[in-house]
Amino acid sequence: MTPLASPVFVGRAAELGRLDDALRRAEAGEGAAVIVGGEAGVGKTRLVEELVARADEAGHAVLTGGCVELEGDGLPLAPVVEALRGLARQLGPVGLVGLVGDRRGELARLLPELGRGALPAAGEDAHSSGRLFDLVLGLLEALAAARPVLFVIEDLHWADQSTRALAAFLLRNVRGSRVTLVLTYRADGVGPGHPLRTFLAEAERLRWAAPSGRERTRWVERVELHRFGRVEVAQLVGAILGATVPDSLVDDVLACSDGNAFFVEEVVAASQDGSLGVVITPTLREALLARVDALPAATRDLLRVAAAGGQRVAHRLLAAVAGLSDEQVWEALRAAVAAGVLLVDQDAGGYAFRHALTRDALHDDGLPGEGKHLHRRYAQAVEADPCLVGGPAQAAATVAYHWYSAHDHVRALPALLHAAEAAECSYAYAEALRHYERAMASWDEVADPGALTGKDRLAILEAAILAARTAGELRREDELLARARVEASRFGDPVRLALVLTEQSRLQRKLGRSDGVSEAQEAVRLVPAQPPTPARAAVLVALGKAFSSVPRRAAGQAAMDEALAVARATGARRAEASALLSSDCLAPVWGEPIDVRRGREIAVELGADDLILASYTHESDTWLGAWRFDEAILVGQEGLRLARRLGQERASMIIAGNVVEAMIGAGRWAEAERMLAQLAELVPVGINAMFLSELRGEVALVRDRLDEAATALATADSLRAKRFVDSQYVLPSARLWAELELRRGDPGAVADRVLETLAHFDLPDVVRYVAPLLAAGMAAAAEAAVVARVRRDAEGLRRALDGAGRLAAVAAELPFERYPSGEAFRAMVAGELARAQGGADPGAWASAAKAWGALGVTYQRACALRGLAESLLAVGDRAAAAAELRAAAAIADELGAHLLRRELGELAVAARVVLSGPGEPVDGLTGGDAETCAADGPPLGLTARELEVLRLVAAGSSNPQIASALFISRKTASTHVSNILGKLGVATRGEAAAVAHRLHLFDRAGSNAP
């Protein structure tokens, strides 16, 4: 059971960024020192290793040394000696000695292997450390004359006095050099009175000394390494095990390790034995208990009592259980706090173990029976005086937990149920779920649990399922539903079984597994139609929803209509609200969501929080469909605030996803990215994970991070079972895929796959998703056609035109007009179709731009302007094209639409248009005369000869072919080609050819063709 290290370096982007900056400052001769602090095992060494690798890569000389823990005085200057030995290995002894010149003798005092050390001269001793420091600094500077230097000293908390003094000396003196000094220390290892504190104070003083002269920033910096959050723990566990890991494992590892990297590794190693959280490896136990063992006996005893109390324990409760006075508790725990074993939790008036694992190790370390005994005392103490701990919910939870841990199930079972209900009252659903799960375990230990609780087992399962759903714990809900299905079948009550099935139907979709139709159909079969009942209405709603995700809208509508009728006839208000809320899935509305709001009114009347929240999902989605992003954001954020208040943030991630989608639509990508990062902390699973990953891809695309977009898309696709084709997920993913394929893959393959995808759907039902997909597909077909023409690839051209034709046929049948932005998309499809056919349709693009303008969708308008500019160039109207290009570029700049901006830039270079704004190649022109020059003069600033060469390049000729055609040498031909690439600002002959064709350079009358 050896702990495995992660092969992958996880997280720490910001910290590494700051360290990287330090390297850059050293390269620039500014000098930099970074002090890295963090608790043991948090990842200081690993971070430094990563930095060393980067410095190495960047050609820095690297020296590293570490302080070692020794009883009494450490080996003087051990880290310096270690670093110098490493250097001697790199440079050879001669190289090293060469750096110090005539001070070899002094150096040899540190490194005896260099030969006889010089004897200190008489009276030198008093200054010897000063001379030595000078020697080390001189050596670093000599080394830095050739290349920048990174000097790392690790674990400074263990340093001897000389090393500390040397570190302080270097800290002051690296300023203005080509040296980066990195020092690490254990923040939890330097309590009051620790000698490193003086050093840290000095460092702090230097840090706040005002930067001056050439320095851009302070040369002394501090980096605090914190424990990993949930996202990093998940990555770390995944990397260690080399597999995707279930969320439950991540949860457990996070809970045990508190995000400390070393503990994560240990806990994962322990979990390999299937004993997660129970068995603590011997090395880990040793590491954890070492500090406790050094404490006084009274402290250790009280710590053991505290450990039975849990990760945190209130002061008064601890005193009551231990039977000690306040003073005695303070007296005993002071040492534990000073040693960093316990933290004082001022707000809660108690203590917390710094590491949950220390608490576990202590608890496991007790005598047989001791733990149970302590738990019983805790339970009794809180029962006797609930005020010992926080509020009533907390008291209930504490009592239940301790009876359960004392294995007194007769007392535990009712206490757990009471605690679960109390948790629900305070919106703590994950807690409630934990209580219910324990209650189910206790249930099996008690002789007559039914009599004890007045409930049946299925009822507890049902309560647990509801808690899991409300907490957003989809996977737990899934497991519980499977158990409930078995239990309900055994029970022989068809209606209860049917209700379990409706939940399963919904969850199948949420987990991205299937449409859930079969579960819903089975549920409908189980509940008789006559007489009409609320249960019948509920199962019909479930069926209607299941059908809405597949192309069976008519059946879905029929089920939903019947559901509504039955609900109204039987006064089943919940089912009625639910049906109204889902109506937009079946019959989309593109404006005021009237039914949804009516559904919400009923939900509010009923106080049904889940339905109220669902109404925000539906309403924000309706506004999204109408391209009314501001409304979608407002409504979504209102829903999120409510979700947060109700403790249902995780269960409402889809609302958050809608808000992100709206931000993307509105061009507010920075906000969207921030929100996506926050949402990742909530660990989305199933469809939530898929949806958010797709959105990450969307942002990455517009931001011109195409690799990241492709990865995000692949992740999204993998999170959805292939056979589960729900339009709202499949079609947007296909569109993103088409956009990416257009730019980095094979545009010629796009049309086929788009058409294949569309074949699954009744298109008029899903215009909303089909319209953008058709536009993206047509753009790819047009690009494929342009490239095929350039390459004289007849087969490619035929295929591209065929694809374009078939897409056009689909477009001709599509009722674009039913959809708010439909006309804009229709026009864009027409514009791209013209391009595919070798022509240009500025009119189509102009109306697309106008339509987007009317909708207030700025980014799409800029995309249409790009199309307009391109088509104007194709018809030879450069002046007009230049104006559109500039307008589009201004929008792209303002929004930060990097991909669009880059593509506009490329188009501008090809057309020799100067875009205002930074970073654009100017090609020898100023903004003022761009239009005149664009209108006449040699195309693209090429000489007549270069135009001839370009013409041949565009026709696919090689350099030798060009040489023989033009009677020039191959070398000259090659020179012309490079000059052309340079002038066009492109990297390959293919791109040059594409530019020529895109601008119709050689097919216009009056062109400079030879």
Ligand X SMILES: Nc1ncnc2c1ncn2[C@@H]1O[C@H](COP(=O)(O)OP(=O)(O)O)[C@@H](O)[C@H]1O
Amino acid at 630: D
Which of these ranges, 43-51, 698-706, 729-737, 828-836, lies near ligand X under the rule CB under 6 A? Answer: 43-51
Picking from 957, 980, 956, 966, the residue whose alpha carbon sits closest to that of residue 1010 is: 966
Which of these ranges, 191-199, 261-269, 496-504, 790-798, lies near ligand X under the rule CB under 6 A? Answer: 261-269
Q: What gap in Å lies between CA 307 and CA 310, rounded to an integer?
A: 5
Q: What gap in Å lies between CA 634 and CA 935, rounded to an integer?
A: 47
Q: Which of 26, 35, 42, 632 binds ligand X (CB under 6 A)?
A: 42
**Cβ at position 186, least distance to ligand X in Å:** 7
**Cβ at position 17, least distance to ligand X in Å:** 14
Does 842 sit behind a cis peptide bond, omega within 30 degrees of 0 on the bond before it?
no
Q: Which is nearer to ligand X, 150 or 563 (CB)?
A: 150
**Cβ at position 181, least distance to ligand X in Å:** 18
Contact, 526 vs 563, CB < 8 A?
no
Q: Which is nearer to ligand X, 13 or 122 (CB)?
A: 13
Query: What is the crossing angle of helices 858-874 and 878-895, to 10°?
Result: 160
Number of residue whose CB is nearest ligand X:
43
Q: What gap in Å lies between CA 878 and CA 740, rounded to an integer?
A: 29
Q: Classify residue 558 by burial, with Cβ atoms within 10 Å: 0-12, 13-18, 19+.
A: middle
One-character DSSP codes across 933-966: HHHSSSGGG--HHHHHHHHHHHTT--HHHHHHHH
Q: Hey, is 879 helix, strand or coil?
A: helix
Contact, 457 vs 446, CB < 8 A?
no
**Residue numbers 43-82 binding Mg ion by CB under 5 A:** 44-45
Query: What is the crossing angle of helices 609-625 and 629-645, to 10°?
Result: 160
**Cβ at position 287, least distance to ligand X in Å:** 10
41 binds, among Mg ion, ligand X, none (CB under 5 to 8 A by kind): ligand X
Which of these ranges, 42-50, 129-137, 737-745, 794-802, lies near Mg ion under the rule CB under 5 A? Answer: 42-50
Which of these ranges, 42-50, 56-64, 831-839, 900-908, lies near ligand X under the rule CB under 6 A? Answer: 42-50
Q: Which is nearer to Mg ion, 36 or 911 (CB)?
A: 36
**Cβ at position 31, least distance to Mg ion in Å:** 25
Q: Which is nearer to ligand X, 236 or 899 (CB)?
A: 236
Q: CB within 8 A of 835, min separation 6: which ones?
A: 782, 785, 786, 841, 870, 871, 874
Site map (CB under 6 A) of ligand X, residues 230-259, x = contact: ------x-----------------------
Binding residues for Mg ion, rule CB under 5 A, total 2
Q: Which is nearer to Mg ion, 154 or 609 (CB)?
A: 154
Q: What gap in Å lies between CA 654 and CA 643, rounded to an integer?
A: 11
Q: Which is nearer to ligand X, 41 or 686 (CB)?
A: 41
Does residue 427 belong to the site contacting ligand X (CB under 6 A)? no
**Cβ at position 12, least distance to ligand X in Å:** 5
Which of these ranges, 1-9, 375-383, 431-439, 699-707, lies near ligand X under the rule CB under 6 A? Answer: 1-9
Q: Which of 35, 261, 899, 942 binds ligand X (CB under 6 A)?
A: 261
Picking from 283, 1007, 250, the residue whose alpha carbon sits closest to that of residue 689 is: 250
Q: Which is nearer to ligand X, 271 or 658 (CB)?
A: 271
**Cβ at position 263, least distance to ligand X in Å:** 9
Number of residue whose CB is nearest Mg ion:
45
Q: Which of 44, 300, 402, 951 binds ligand X (CB under 6 A)?
A: 44
Instruction: Count the Cβ atoms, other than its own, within 10 Å of residue 391.
Output: 12
**Cβ at position 512, least distance to Mg ion in Å:** 41
Q: Which of 160, 265, 519, 631 binds ligand X (CB under 6 A)?
A: 265
CA dihedral 797, 802, 804, 809 (to 10 degrees): 160
Q: What gap in Å lies between CA 925 and CA 934, rounded to an integer?
A: 10
Phi, psi of 921 (to 5 degrees): -65, 135
38 binds, among Mg ion, ligand X, none (CB under 5 to 8 A by kind): ligand X
**Cβ at position 189, least distance to ligand X in Å:** 10
159 binds, among ligand X, Mg ion, none (CB under 5 to 8 A by kind): none
Picking from 214, 192, 140, 137, the residue whose alpha carbon sits closest to that of residue 168 is: 137
Q: What gap in Å lies between CA 122 and CA 128, rounded to an integer?
A: 11
**Cβ at position 11, least distance to Mg ion in Å:** 17
5 binds, among Mg ion, ligand X, none (CB under 5 to 8 A by kind): ligand X
Q: What gap in Å lies between CA 273 and CA 265, rounded to an integer?
A: 13
**Residue numbers 22-41 binding ligand X by CB under 6 A:** 38, 40-41
In degrees, rounded to 5, the angle at the alpha carbon of residue 17 between the alpha carbons of residues 15 and 20 is 115
**37 pairs with which residues across the strands?**
185, 224
Q: Which of 23, 31, 46, 688 binds ligand X (CB under 6 A)?
A: 46
Which of these ranges, 9-17, 439-447, 614-622, 649-657, lies near ligand X under the rule CB under 6 A? Answer: 9-17
**Cβ at position 153, least distance to Mg ion in Å:** 12
Q: What gap in Å lies between CA 854 and CA 861, rounded to an integer?
A: 9
Amino acid at 58: A
Q: Which of 133, 158, 262, 616 binds ligand X (CB under 6 A)?
A: 262
**Cβ at position 226, least distance to ligand X in Å:** 11
**Cβ at position 44, least distance to Mg ion in Å:** 5
Q: CB within 8 A of 12, min separation 6: which ones?
A: 43, 47, 50, 225
Residue ranges binding ligand X (CB under 6 A): 5-6, 9-12, 38, 40-46, 236, 261-262, 265
Residue ranges binding Mg ion (CB under 5 A): 44-45
